[in-house]
Chains A and B, each alone.
Chain A
Amino acid sequence: DAGITQSPRHKVTETGTPVTLRCHQTENHRYMYWYRQDPGHGLRLIHYSYGVKDTDKGEVSDGYSVSRSKTEDFLLTLESATSSQTSVYFCAISVTAYGYTFGSGTRLTVV
C-alpha cells in the first residue's frame, strides 16, 4: 500500500526468541496501530500510537511491546515468541483517527 510498508513480509521463528516487526510510513500520519488477524477473530488491536513516544495498549497486548521514536516508524516486539502468537500482523495508519490505511501484513509463524 502506498505510503506504508511492513517488514519482514514473512518470518518463521522459534518459541522463546524475541521478534521485532517494523512498520514504516511516509505519510507523516499521527496515528499508527498494530493489529493481528486470526481465523474467526477478525482484526484485534494489539497496541497503538498517537504520537512520538505516545503509545497505549489494545485488547490483546499481553506478550507484546511497541516503540515509536520517530513519526515514521512503529515497531512491534514479541518479547518471547509463543505458538499462540502465530498470526498475520497488520500495521495501519490514520491522519485524523477516521479510517485506516493498512500495510500488506507480516505473516509470522512460531515453531
Chain B
Amino acid sequence: GENVEQHPSTLSVQEGDSAVIKCTYSDSASNYFPWYKQELGKGPQLIIDIRSNVGEKKDQRIAVTLNKTAKHFSLHITETQPEDSAVYFCAASIDTNAGKSTFGDGTTLTVKP
C-alpha cells in the first residue's frame, strides 16, 4: 500500500519568515495530494490540495508544489503569522479508490512572534 513520509516533525520559525514542509509518497498511482491544518483540540481542516496534472498551486500565502517523477510534494507558507502555528498533515490518495487517503505523521509548526 501507499506510504507517506513527512519532514520535519517539528519546525520553529520567526514571524514573517517562510516555512517549508516536505512529503514523499511511494505509490506512483497516487494522483491527489491534500494538506490539512489541525489546531489544538480540533479536527484537521483542508487548506490546499493539488492533483497530479498540476505542478504548483497557490492560495494567498500558501503554495504547494508536486514533483511526480521524484514522488514528492511540499507545502510552502510565506510571511508566517502566529496563527499559522498548528500541526500540518500531508496526504496522498488515488481518486478512483474511494478517496482513501494515506497521511504523513504530521509537522508541528510554531511561529514565534
Chain A positions within 8 Å of B, measured between CB atoms, are 1, 31, 33, 35, 40-45, 48, 50, 56, 58-59, 90, 92, 94, 96-105
CA gap between A102 and B32 in the complex, in Å = 18
Task: Return chain B residues, CB-CB under 8 Å to A59.
Answer: 1, 102
Please state if B99 and A43 are interface contacts (CB–CB under 8 Å). Answer: no
Q: How far is the CB of B62 from chain A (nearest CB, A)?
A: 15
Across chains A and B, the number of contacting residue pairs, with CB separation under 8 Å, is: 63
Please state if B43 and A105 are interface contacts (CB–CB under 8 Å). Answer: yes
Pairs across A and B, CB under 8 Å, 28 listed: A31-B98, A33-B100, A40-B105, A41-B105, A42-B6, A43-B103, A44-B103, A48-B98, A48-B100, A56-B98, A58-B100, A59-B102, A90-B43, A96-B99, A97-B93, A97-B95, A97-B97, A97-B98, A98-B32, A98-B95, A99-B46, A100-B34, A100-B46, A100-B101, A102-B36, A102-B45, A104-B42, A104-B43
CA gap between A17 and B44 in the complex, in Å = 29
* Residue of A44, A56, A92, A99 with most chain B CB atoms under a 10 A cut-off: A99
Instruction: Name B34's contact: one of A41, A48, A50, A99 (CB within 8 Å).
Output: A99
Please state if A1 and B99 are interface contacts (CB–CB under 8 Å). Answer: no
Task: Return chain B residues, CB-CB under 8 Å to A100.
Answer: 34, 36, 44, 46, 99, 101
Asked if B73 CB lies within 8 Å of chain A CBs, one says: no
Instruction: Name A99's contact: one of B1, B49, B106 (CB within 8 Å).
Output: B49
CA gap between A33 and B102 in the complex, in Å = 12
Q: What are the interface flags for B1-13 relative to A under an 8 Å C-beta threshold, 1 for contact and 0 otherwise?
A: 1000010000000
